[in-house]
Structure 1
């Protein structure tokens, strides 16, 4: 019985009930018990109505969300990187570093699209430089 809302154990509850019975008196005790039971029933009904309303509104807002797919424990960084690297690029583009020796971090970080018509640099030729770039 103890450990509930008010942390009252069984012995304390018996003492409280005896004090209430003495203060209220045996004549009015059944009426107060009925009123308490009616109040508890009404409170439960209100809580149930509120819970149902919240469930309806949340379901209407979120629709059919697949919560299992959004669970962060489902994400495996190795699988995500592997799938990103094995993804076929569009035909008019190629991956950055496909023809050049690129570091693993650069290849895994992001896919950069380069126009297919760009010719490779000739030995000794400087790379294009944009002096207005940051």
Structure 2
């Protein structure tokens, strides 16, 4: 979490104890305990509300699969690329002319109406 290790948190706690002082330390420790307790109650309330709104489907959901810490873009891209089967060789045509030359080769027959897209105008 934010690159904090137990050692760093211990150092921050010792510095906070010196800054706050022994007179006010119990008060702030009680406030911290209350904050942690209220956050835990909030999380449990959200969980019970989800269970209530989703009904029996709540237990069927694999919550570990939805954990954002499981997200690895390299793995997802690798799996997506490996799942696609290669295109059949018969559908691939070699390019003999440039796109400009191909477009210029398409001409309208005498009396033919050019294509018109009513949604684009």
Decide which structure has greater helix share. 2
Alignment TM-score > 0.5, same fold = no
Q: Which has the higher contact order (CA 8 A, sep 6+)?
A: 1
| Max Rg structure | 1
TM-score (norm 2): 0.43
